A = this chain, B = another copy of it.
């Protein structure tokens, strides 16, 4: 049976880190709900300007509504993490032990949510020191699985990221 996956994103998300996992999830019969700062708003990707309409405001959802969380990268996570609801939702998800799929700059949201201590994790090269300083072990490989966390470094890692994410659904 299909699972309900929240994709949390805002403007300047890395297009392919949203579009490719979402296509793969939907192809397998899962539902993807776009969660953002404001319901009804259209957000745009960084490189290709992909338009995504936000279904639900993060202030109106909770971890109980979903089975998994996808956090695409780009400059979206850095903007999401100034929003307390987005940070709390992310923290709750990681602590719930439901699957969290984090790629590229997604780790920024997890750093602010203070949920990386003692975890094995990877992310975009620029945030390597942030991940280490947050108390995680930074692993430089295409996909890292640590209990409920699946993480990858950049768009080149998407196939491996999708493969491990699907295994967890």
Q: Which of A89-130 contact B (CB under 8 A)?
A: 108, 111-112, 114, 125-130
**A125 and B75: CB pair below 8 A?**
no
Q: CA of A78 to CA of B79 in the docked complex: distance in angstroms?
A: 13
A150 interface hit (Cβ, 8 Å): no
CB-CB < 8 A to A141: which residues of B? none
**B126 and A111: CB pair below 8 A?**
no
Q: CA of A126 to CA of B133 in the docked complex: distance in angstroms?
A: 16
- Contact with A130, one of B75, B111, B125, B135 (Cβ below 8 angstroms): B111
Determine how close the nearest CB of chain B comes to the CB of A127; give it in whole angstroms: 8
CB-CB < 8 A to A75: which residues of B? 75, 78
CB-CB < 8 A to A79: which residues of B? 126
**A111 and B133: CB pair below 8 A?**
yes
A162 interface hit (Cβ, 8 Å): no
A81 interface hit (Cβ, 8 Å): yes
CB-CB < 8 A to A134: which residues of B? 129, 133
* CB nearest neighbor in B for A74: B75
- Since A79-B126, A108-B126 are in contact, a sample of 20 more A-B pairs with Cβ atoms closer than 8 Å, ordered by chain A residue number, is A75-B75, A75-B78, A78-B78, A78-B127, A81-B126, A82-B125, A82-B126, A108-B130, A111-B129, A111-B133, A112-B126, A112-B128, A112-B129, A114-B129, A129-B134, A130-B130, A130-B133, A133-B133, A133-B134, A133-B135
